[in-house]
Amino acid sequence: MPVLATALLLARDCSGDDCEKPTSTFLKSGVPGIIIGILVLGAAGVCCYFLWRNKKRDALEAKAARDWN
């Protein structure tokens, strides 16, 4: 192929939005939503773990206080 023909094949007759690749709306709204959901669930899980651990420690301290008195 001549160089000129190759250059014409590589040149595009488009401007702006015509040349952009199509993207799905799931990539714009679904994926960030899933990531934020996972982060929120993880944070809630960590908070629940700390509350459970604190409740367990308080129960042990109350039992020790009852045994002491």
Residue-wise pLDDT tens for the chain (69 aa)? 555 555 555 555 666 666 777 777 877 888 899 999 999 999 999 999 999 999 999 999 999 999 886
CA dihedral 20→25→26→27, nearest 10 degrees, is: 30
Q: How many domains does the chain have?
A: 1
User: Is residue 48 in some structural domain?
Assistant: yes
Contact yes or no for 12/19 (Cβ under 8 A): yes
- The residue range of the domain holding 49 is 44-68
User: Is residue 53 in some structural domain?
Assistant: yes
User: Is residue 63 in some structural domain?
Assistant: yes
Contacts 24+ apart (CB under 8 A), 63-68: none
Sequence-distant (≥ 6) Cβ neighbours of residue 12 within 8 angstroms: 19
User: Is residue 11 in some structural domain?
Assistant: no
User: Is residue 8 in some structural domain?
Assistant: no
4 residue type, one letter: L
Q: How far apart are CA 13 and CA 29, in angstroms?
A: 31
User: Is residue 18 in some structural domain?
Assistant: no
For the question of whether the overall pTM of this predicted structure is more than 0.75, the answer is no
User: Is residue 56 in some structural domain?
Assistant: yes
